[in-house]
Structure 1
Amino acid sequence: MSIKIVKVPNIGDYDNVDVIEVNVAVGDVIAKEDSLITLETDKASMEVPSPVAGKITTLTVKVGDKVSQGTAIMEVDVDGSSDQAAATKSQPQSTSQAPAAAAASQIVDVEVPDIGDYDSVDVIEVFVKVGDKIAEEDSLITLETDKASMEVPSPIAGKVVEVVTKVGDKVSQGSLILKVETGTRAAVPALVSSSVNEYDVDNSNAHASPAVRKIARILNVDLSKVKATGRKGRVTKEDCYNYIKYAITKVQTGKVTASGSGLDLLDDPVVDFSKFGEIETQPLSRINKISAKNLHRNWVKIPHVTFYDAADVTDLEEFRNAKKAFTEKDGIKITPLSFLVKAAAVALQEFPKINSSLSNDGENLIIKKYYNIGFAADTPAGLIVPVIKDANKKGIIEISKDIMELASKARDGKLGAKDMTGATFTISSLGVLGTTSFTPVINMPEVAIMGVSKTAVKPVWNGKDFVPRTMLPLSLSTDHRVIDGALAAKFLTRYCQILSDLREIIM
Structure 2
Amino acid sequence: MQIQAPDIGVDKAIVAEILVKVGDHVAVEDSLLVLESDKAAVEVPSTAAGIVKSILVQQGDEVTEGVALIELESESAVEAPAKEALKSEVPKAEAQTVEVAIQAQVAPAATASQVIDVKVPDIGVEKALVAEVLVKVGDEIEAEQSIVVVESDKATVEVPSSIAGVVETIQIKEGDSVKEGVVLIQVKTTVAAPVASEVQPTPVEAAVPVSATTGEIEITVPDLGVEKALVSEILVSVGDYVEAQQSLCVVESDKASVEVPSASAGIVKAIHVSLNQEVRQGIALATIEVSGLAAAQAVPKAQPTVAATATTTVAKPQPAVASQTASAQPEKLSKEQEIANAKVYAGPAVRKLARELGVVLGQVKASGEHGRVIKEDVFAHVKTRLTAPQAAPTVQAAPVASGLPSLPDFTAFGGGEVKAMTRLQQVSVPQLSLNNFIPQVTQFDLADITELEAWRGELKDGFKKQGLSLTILAFIAKAVAHLLKEEPYFAGHLADDQKSVLLRNEIHMGIAVATPDGLTVPVLRNPDQKSIKQIAAELAELSQKARDRKLSPKDLQGANFTITSLGSIGGTAFTPLVNWPQVAILGISPATMQPVWNGKDFDPRLMLPLSLSYDHRVINGADAARFTNKLTKLLKDIRNLLL
TM range (shorter): 0.5 to 0.7
Contact kept? 2:226, 2:386, Cα under 8 Å: no
Provide the C-alpha distance between the structure 2 equivalents of 1:308 and 1:226, rounded to a whole number of angstroms.
Answer: 54
Say whether 1:371 aligns with 2:377.
no
Q: 1:222 aligns with which of 200, 207, 228?
A: 228
Residue number in structure 1 paired with 2:17: none
**TM-score, reference length from structure 2:** 0.47
Provide the C-alpha distance between the structure 2 equivalents of 1:283 and 1:240, rounded to a whole number of angstroms.
Answer: 21
The structure number with the bigger radius of gyration is: 2
Provide the C-alpha distance between the structure 1 equivalents of 2:381 and 2:41, rounded to a whole number of angstroms.
Answer: 29
Contact kept? 1:450, 1:474, Cα under 8 Å: yes
Q: 2:625 aligns with which of 471, 486, 489?
A: 489
Q: 1:428 aligns with which of 550, 559, 564?
A: 564
Contact kept? 1:304, 1:480, Cα under 8 Å: yes
Map 1:318-357; keep pairs closer than 5 Å: 318-357=454-493
3-state SS of 2:389 partner: helix
| Cα distance, 1:225–1:178 mapped onto 2, change above 3 Å | farther
Q: 2:523 aligns with which of 374, 387, 402?
A: 387
| Cα distance, 1:243–1:445 mapped onto 2, change above 3 Å | closer
Structure number with higher relative contact order (C-alpha < 8 Å, ≥ 6 residues apart) = 1
User: Quick check: 284-293 or 241-250, which moved more?
Assistant: 241-250
Residue number in structure 1 paired with 2:424: 287
| Cα distance, 1:421–1:180 mapped onto 2, change above 3 Å | farther
Contact kept? 2:34, 2:41, Cα under 8 Å: no
Map 1:157-168; keep pairs closer than 5 Å: 162-163=121-122
1:314 maps to a residue whose letter is T
Q: 1:245 aligns with which of 385, 388, 401?
A: 385
Provide the C-alpha distance between the structure 2 equivalents of 1:506 and 1:233, rounded to a whole number of angstroms.
Answer: 60
Q: Which runs of 5+ in 1 are unaligned?
A: 1-31, 36-88, 94-106, 116-123, 131-149, 168-176, 183-192, 198-206, 255-261
Shift of 1:410: 0.8
3-state SS of 1:463 partner: coil
Q: 1:208 aligns with which of 210, 213, 220?
A: 220
Shift of 1:485: 0.7
Q: 1:270 aligns with which of 393, 397, 408?
A: 408
Residue number in structure 2 paired with 1:439: 575
Task: Give percent identity, aligned residues only.
Answer: 32
3-state SS of 1:440 partner: coil
Residue number in structure 2 paired with 1:111: 33
3-state SS of 1:294 partner: helix
Residue number in structure 1 paired with 2:548: 412
| Cα distance, 1:232–1:476 mapped onto 2, change above 3 Å | same
Provide the C-alpha distance between the structure 1 equivalents of 2:636 and 2:403, rounded to a whole number of angstroms.
Answer: 45
Provide the C-alpha distance between the structure 2 equivalents of 1:226 and 1:359, rounded to a whole number of angstroms.
Answer: 32
Provide the C-alpha distance between the structure 1 equivalents of 2:64 and 2:229, rounded to a whole number of angstroms.
Answer: 38
Contact kept? 1:305, 1:478, Cα under 8 Å: yes
3-state SS of 1:233 partner: strand
Provide the C-alpha distance between the structure 2 equivalents of 1:227 and 1:475, rounded to a whole number of angstroms.
Answer: 53
3-state SS of 2:580 partner: coil
Say whether 1:232 aligns with 2:248.
yes
Provide the C-alpha distance between the structure 2 equivalents of 1:277 and 1:152, rounded to a whole number of angstroms.
Answer: 53
Shift of 1:267: 1.4
Provide the C-alpha distance between the structure 2 equivalents of 1:179 and 1:196, rounded to a whole number of angstroms.
Answer: 36
3-state SS of 2:388 partner: helix
| Cα distance, 1:223–1:477 mapped onto 2, change above 3 Å | same
Shift of 1:166: 6.4
| Cα distance, 1:418–1:264 mapped onto 2, change above 3 Å | closer
**TM-score, reference length from structure 1:** 0.58
Question: C-alpha root-mean-square deviation of aligned residues, in Å?
Answer: 4.0
| Cα distance, 1:431–1:249 mapped onto 2, change above 3 Å | same
Q: 2:65 aligns with which of 112, 136, 156?
A: 156
Provide the C-alpha distance between the structure 1 equivalents of 2:232 and 2:631, rounded to a whole number of angstroms.
Answer: 48
Provide the C-alpha distance between the structure 1 equivalents of 2:216 and 2:385, rounded to a whole number of angstroms.
Answer: 31
| Cα distance, 1:151–1:161 mapped onto 2, change above 3 Å | farther
1:270 maps to a residue whose letter is P
Provide the C-alpha distance between the structure 1 equivalents of 2:618 and 2:442, rounded to a whole number of angstroms.
Answer: 14
Provide the C-alpha distance between the structure 2 equivalents of 1:369 and 1:361, rounded to a whole number of angstroms.
Answer: 20
Q: Which runs of 5+ in 2 are unaligned?
A: 1-20, 45-58, 68-118, 127-154, 161-213, 236-245, 251-258, 262-356, 358-378, 395-399
